[in-house]
Homo-oligomer: A and B are copies of this chain.
Amino acid sequence: MNTWPTRAAALPDRVSIREVGPRDGLQSENPIPPEDKVRLIDALSGTGLRRIEAVSFVHPKAIPQMADADEVWRAVTRSPEVQYSALAPNLKGAQRALDAGFDHVEVVVSASDTHNLNNIKRSTDESLDGIAELIAALGDRGPTIEVIVATAFGCPYEGDVAAERVASIVDRVITDGAHRIAFGDTTGMATPRRVAELLDLVRSAHPDVPLLLHFHNTRGTALANVLTAMDYGVVEFDASVGGLGGCPYAPGASGNLATEELVHMLHDMGVETGVDLDALIEVAELAESLVGRELPSGVLRAGPRTRLTPKPDIKD
């Protein structure tokens, strides 16, 4: 028997996956009814996933797909083993999230000014001021606040985004009281090089801040990026069941990294996730039927590598 050699020593024993299909994924699919969202969230919580981004509290005019956040969240059967989170665009949204019972709230800022302006009509600095105010205003209610830095590996309008710029955003929000950081590869521009450059900088400045990476598979690099990030000690990743979604503000963006592709690779490498892959693939099939389009996940199409084809009846 072989043992998985050399690089295995550097691999984490376990990776924590946050499932973002119900929010990030559905946000850029055709709208589906609230009861279907609830069905999806509850199915996901039965797969062993321990973190689910459930809804976002954005203005219904901005993202009509999320107008039913309160209704969906009230109807979800909340598993005590799952940490649910909500995205909030601003203080009002964050307050709605806390009022609804969330204790993990995500806020977003784009590292690229042009992307941030196009997204929410504010410069990056203006958004950072808003985040500082939000953290100050909510601090005594005790939520965990994660700042998602979008376009962290490149902007579809500006091109490369300097790792130093992203790192300085991290410095600022940590100073302002953020508890966690996520880097979003909003339009799939990350490659192993970009991941390594950014993590090198950020990990040397903030070795202990919880850090999560969110990759899109737009150009085929998502799992290569995950591999690189694990080399830098990152053990938290977003993924979206079936590869649901993209980014409504990012032209040319295609699907999120599919959760089952991430779980499939990690498990074969001996990295645990706690997820039942077969159950997850069934939920990907459900997701596909709910949104009514073929989802881009290879593991959904082909099954895991352990799913064998019946041996043919070979005649001489």
Contacts and interface: CB of A to CB of B under 8 A. Distances in A.
Interface of A: 2, 4-8, 114, 117-118, 121, 154, 156-159, 162-164, 187-189, 191-194, 196-197, 200-201, 217-224, 226-228, 231, 251-254, 257-258, 261, 264-265, 268-270, 297-299, 301-306, 308-312, 314, 316
Contact of A270 (B193, B298, B314): B193
Contacts of A7: 192, 196, 228, 231
A314 B220 contact: no
Given A7-B228, A156-B309, A227-B224, A302 B218 contact: yes
Given A157-B310, A219-B264, 5 more contacts: A118-B314, A121-B314, A193-B268, A220-B264, A254-B298
Nearest to A266: B191
Given A191-B265, A228-B227, A298 B159 contact: no
Contacts of A8: 193, 196
5 contacts: A6-B196, A6-B200, A7-B196, A118-B314, A217-B298
Given A220-B223, A227-B228, A301 B254 contact: yes
Given A188-B298, A314-B117, A5 B157 contact: no
A218 to B, nearest CB: 5
